[in-house]
Structure 1
Amino acid sequence: MGKITGFKEFDRKTEAYRPVDLRIKDYGEIFTGYHDKAHLQEQGARCMDCGVPFCQSENGCPVDNLIPEFNDLIYHNKWQEALVRLLKTNNFPEFTGRVCPAPCEGSCVLSINNSAVAIKNIEQAIIDKGFDEGWVKPYIVEYRTGKKIAIIGSGPAGLAAADELNKIGHSVTIFERDDHIGGLLMYGIPNMKLGKDVVDRRVKLMQDSGVEFITNVDVGKDITTIQLQQNFDALVLTTGASKARDLLVDNRQAQGVHLAMEYLVKNTKSLLDTGSVDESDLSAKGKDVIVIGGGDTGTDCIGTALRQGAKSIVNFELMGKPPVERASNNPWPLWPLIYRVDYGHAEVTEIFGKDPRQYHLMTQSFIKDDQNFVIGLKTVNVDFKDGQLIQINGSEKIWNTQLVLLSMGFVSPEHYLSDDANIELDERGNYKAKYGQYITSQKSIFTAGDCRRGQSLVVWAINEGRGVAAKVNEYLA
């Protein structure tokens, strides 16, 4: 695929983000777009005729994108044909092209001893050009089956399931407890990484295709699953894994200690509702901010705090600093567990002069004042020996802070909906259903996405949304 000698002739080159000094002044997307088509054609040319495309393997793309095919089409400047290939497997490449960490690139054969093809950039460019050129249109269903499906939760899994079921001809209604459709895409990912106009554009397209959306209805509280079953032929639970992992140490209840998602949601909601940033007590403006936990959510907290005007930003990580190159126990084509600099880290480094991350740190307690406001926290350095965490005596340290954000992942979905539906949970507290089958312990109730598999990637949510749609269709046949 691509140019036979392209991987020898061209180096990897990714689309640059907007300059740091400009992008931190607003919440616009950090991306610069696909303006240099020649550069993208070169990247498509780098795709090797590798025989077995590991980018589409189990360790690569969860939705089995036809990556070598659309790379070759971009190399030959056939953008519309590339869009057709991309949409065969991925319902929402405008989301994955922006927020997916690109496991496909980690499994790229070229990355064994070179830099991977810039697959993620190509994917985003294809769909963005498709929208710009008017190639992406509503899917008009010619025949309706008369079957009705209710989907609870409008994140990527729910949207993918709805998109697939609607195309088959079933009537689909999505129920969302928040005031905007999108779930994680709307409120869990900041505007600078995923513009909400991008989410709204897709929702509008689905509405025009026949999908019905109902907001501000919390199934399990405002309406029961039994009531829904009286009006729908099948239910699909795609509520996400919204129960966050907490840090239960002394003075956890001090004011100024918040879960990361509470912080991110409030700022995004303020931007949506008023057009301005959140300026409540939860704002980082003028404060020494400490983010506990890494990952994408931690980075998003860092980027948001910087834009709000934080005085300083530090990011604690329990584990050590990852290696620059793959370790011997992390071979290709596994996802490379290496040191990376995400957008938030780069921004803080440029503004404050150093990377915000501090490694091998464990928080022992929060420190509060007489009014119950957090004013600091106490840490200890840790190490790992034979899989055991060891605290290093004499390494205790006090850190000043007026805002602490807990970004340590999610443990499970909330359980009021599963209680109402009377479905079984697995040993981790997720809705119990076998991958590939998606049926719960209750007839006609299916589940998919993070609420079934645990916290994961948007692309895996799309994978499961497509999968559950196929099983619901089989059930209704």
Structure 2
Amino acid sequence: MGKATGFLEYERKESNKRPPQERIKDWNEYKVSLTKEEMKIQGARCMDCGIPFCHGGVLLAGMAAGCPVKNLIPEWNDLVYRGQWMEAYKRLTRTNPFPEFTSRVCPAPCEGSCTEGYQMESVTISNIEYEIIETAFTEGWVKPFKAKSTGRQIAVVGSGPAGLSTAHYLSAVGHDVTIYERSDRAGGLLMYGIPNMKLEKRFVDRRLKVMEESGIKFIYNTEVGKDVPAKKLLEEFDAVVLCCGATKARGLNVEGKDLDGVHFAVDFLSANTKSLLDSNLEDENYISAQDKDIIIIGGGDTGTDCVGTSIRHGCNSVYQFEIMPEPPEKRQESSNPWPEWPKKLKVDYGQEEAISLYGRDPRNYLINTKKIIGDENGKVKEVHTVQIEWTKDDQGRMYPKEIPGTEKVWKADMVLLAMGFLGPEDTIPEELKLDRDPRSNVMAEYEDFETSEEKVFVAGDMRRGQSLIVWAIQEGKLAAREVDKYLMGKSVIK
């Protein structure tokens, strides 16, 4: 695929980013497109590797290796190299209904498993995907789809990536789909969990418009289990698919955890985006980091998003605490062999901005929070920490051991908890008496997706726990297939 010798002739080139000192002044997307000629060269780098691990979509060492939606990446790389952009779009969307989302926010496990990446820099798969879908929208190739109605009515609860994917595929085969969303806008974490500078909401709205024009119905400000009983949906619809996510945030069990100024990252990020969309932040209905010293406990994408958001508010300082060690600069073949997801140090957009602004990386590794101290008014003023080292106990299990003499007090006006999620909320599972696994997720086998309640299916984080958006999209597609088979006896969804 691509040019036979392209991987030897051309170097990997990432999409450009707006300069940090410029982009921190607004909430617009920081990514800048490459030219068509530059993308042709990047497509040319895709080698005829024989076994394209990039679209494997399997779990290795508990992490995704290759693309979970099974994108046939070498095919559209080759088409981009040949300048056949419409065909590249058709090939891409045969496996991925929402490339505009995955190309912006997926960590690209496909690139981690790229055969070329075994010895050199992997192909810029994510950037090529980004350019394909943006070209398709610009050229008017993305159109609503219409299918002959089967007369079957399906309710999808939740409009995050799993819910949107489920609705897309069920509608495409002719079922009438209604999505229930408790918020005032659709998209779930795509809308309110991911900041605008990483995923501008106009791109989410653009896709939602296509789905609405395709006949999918959205009901907003309606929480199933509260505003409308879940059992009522079972009476009114031929099938129900639960795509409510894993929204129960993980807290921090230390002294001071309930002080004024301690917030879950998801509350901080979602309130900011809603205020931004409602009033360009003029209504002040958000948690402001302006002129404050910010401590973020937790890393990952959410921690990075908190860094970027705090900086745009005009914070005084921002630090991230991570209990794990700093990743190596390169993949460690002995413990993290290809094609596993490469565990190596990544400097994301938020860290780039902090480095540009403060002259330092905001992340601090191997650090444990001992307590949070407040002032006489109950407001956060300090965070007390200690350095740790990971060691084995008598049974060979790793645990964090405190290092004496490394205690430190950090000035803080706000603490943001970016420590992930514990599982789905209880309202609907308890009302329907659904079986749950030991982690509280709704129990349903992968590639089956039917719960313990007849005609109730589940997909995405609500079933598998907190995971990647691309896994949610894949689960939505496969759950749609099983619903289609349940209703029609067979399915053309693959």
TM bracket, shorter-chain basis: over 0.9
Offset of 1:275 from its aligned partner? 1.7
Closer/same/farther in 2, CA of residues 280 and 160 from structure 1, 3 Å limit:
closer
Give me the TM-score of the superposition, normalised by structure 2: 0.95
Structure 2: gaps of 5 or more residues: 59-64, 393-397, 489-494
Give me the TM-score of the superposition, normalised by structure 1: 0.99
Aligned to 2:251: 246
Aligned to 1:351: 357
Distance (Å, rounded) in 2 between the aligned partners of 1:388 and 1:68: 42
Closer/same/farther in 2, CA of residues 180 and 124 from structure 1, 3 Å limit:
same
Offset of 1:276 from its aligned partner? 2.2
Aligned to 1:475: 486
Give per-residue Cα distances to partners, 1:387-443, cap 9 Å, x unaligned. Answer: 121011121111000010000011101111111121111100001111110000000
SS, match of residue 455 in structure 1: coil
SS, match of residue 74 in structure 1: helix
Task: Tell me if the contact between 2:437 and 2:443 (Cα under 8 Å) persists in the aligned partners.
Answer: yes
Aligned to 2:139: 133
Matched ranges for 1:317-466 at <5 A: 317-327=322-332, 328-386=334-392, 387-466=398-477
2:246 equivalent to 1:236: no
Offset of 1:279 from its aligned partner? 3.9
- Give RMSD over aligned pairs: 0.9
Give per-residue Cα distances to partners, 1:106-160, cap 9 Å, x unaligned. Answer: 000000010000000000100001000001100022x100100000000000000
SS, match of residue 233 in structure 2: helix
Q: Which residue identity does 2:319 align to in structure 1?
A: V
Q: % of aligned pairs identical?
A: 52
Task: Tell me if the contact between 2:275 and 2:286 (Cα under 8 Å) persists in the aligned partners.
Answer: no
Task: Tell me if the contact between 1:267 and 1:277 (Cα under 8 Å) persists in the aligned partners.
Answer: no
2:39 equivalent to 1:40: yes
Aligned to 1:90: 96
Q: Which residue identity does 1:444 align to in structure 2?
A: K
Distance (Å, rounded) in 1 between the aligned partners of 2:146 and 2:401: 60
Offset of 1:68 from its aligned partner? 0.2
Offset of 1:161 from its aligned partner? 0.4
Aligned to 2:61: none
Closer/same/farther in 2, CA of residues 470 and 166 from structure 1, 3 Å limit:
same
SS, match of residue 372 in structure 1: coil
Distance (Å, rounded) in 1 between the aligned partners of 2:33 and 2:166: 28
2:169 equivalent to 1:178: no
Give per-residue Cα distances to partners, 1:73-123, cap 9 Å, x unaligned. Answer: 000000000000000000100000000000000000000010000000000
Aligned to 2:106: 100
Task: Tell me if the contact between 1:277 and 1:308 (Cα under 8 Å) persists in the aligned partners.
Answer: no
Aligned to 1:9: 9
2:135 equivalent to 1:163: no
Aligned to 1:262: 267
Matched ranges for 1:166-245 at <5 A: 166-245=171-250
Offset of 1:338 from its aligned partner? 0.4
Which residue of 291, 296, 299 maps to 1:291? 296
Offset of 1:229 from its aligned partner? 1.2
Aligned to 2:72: 66
Task: Tell me if the contact between 2:271 and 2:286 (Cα under 8 Å) persists in the aligned partners.
Answer: no
Q: Which residue identity does 2:308 align to in structure 1?
A: G
Closer/same/farther in 2, CA of residues 74 and 267 from structure 1, 3 Å limit:
same
Structure 1: gaps of 5 or more residues: none
Q: Which residue identity does 1:244 align to in structure 2?
A: A
Offset of 1:281 from its aligned partner? 7.5
SS, match of residue 239 in structure 1: coil
Q: Which residue identity does 1:139 align to in structure 2?
A: F
Distance (Å, rounded) in 2 between the aligned partners of 1:51 and 1:353: 45
Offset of 1:282 from its aligned partner? 2.2
Offset of 1:322 from its aligned partner? 0.4
Distance (Å, rounded) in 1 between the aligned partners of 2:92 and 2:282: 36
Distance (Å, rounded) in 1 between the aligned partners of 2:208 and 2:20: 30
Q: Which residue identity does 1:16 align to in structure 2?
A: N
Distance (Å, rounded) in 2 between the aligned partners of 1:382 and 1:232: 53
Give per-residue Cα distances to partners, 1:56-85, cap 9 Å, x unaligned. Answer: 112200001010000000000000000000
Aligned to 2:54: 55
Distance (Å, rounded) in 1 between the aligned partners of 2:47 and 2:292: 50
Task: Tell me if the contact between 2:249 and 2:421 (Cα under 8 Å) persists in the aligned partners.
Answer: yes
SS, match of residue 89 in structure 1: coil
Q: Which residue identity does 1:27 align to in structure 2?
A: W
Distance (Å, rounded) in 1 between the aligned partners of 2:182 and 2:301: 24
Task: Tell me if the contact between 2:275 and 2:285 (Cα under 8 Å) persists in the aligned partners.
Answer: no
Distance (Å, rounded) in 2 between the aligned partners of 1:87 and 1:129: 13
Give per-residue Cα distances to partners, 1:287-336, cap 9 Å, x unaligned. Answer: 00010000000000000000000000000000110011112110000000
Give per-residue Cα distances to partners, 1:323-355, cap 9 Å, x unaligned. Answer: 111121100000000001000000000000000
Distance (Å, rounded) in 2 between the aligned partners of 1:281 and 1:67: 40
SS, match of residue 384 in structure 2: strand
SS, match of residue 370 in structure 2: strand
Closer/same/farther in 2, CA of residues 278 and 455 from structure 1, 3 Å limit:
farther
SS, match of residue 161 in structure 1: helix
Distance (Å, rounded) in 2 between the aligned partners of 1:251 and 1:18: 39
Task: Tell me if the contact between 2:182 and 2:220 (Cα under 8 Å) persists in the aligned partners.
Answer: yes
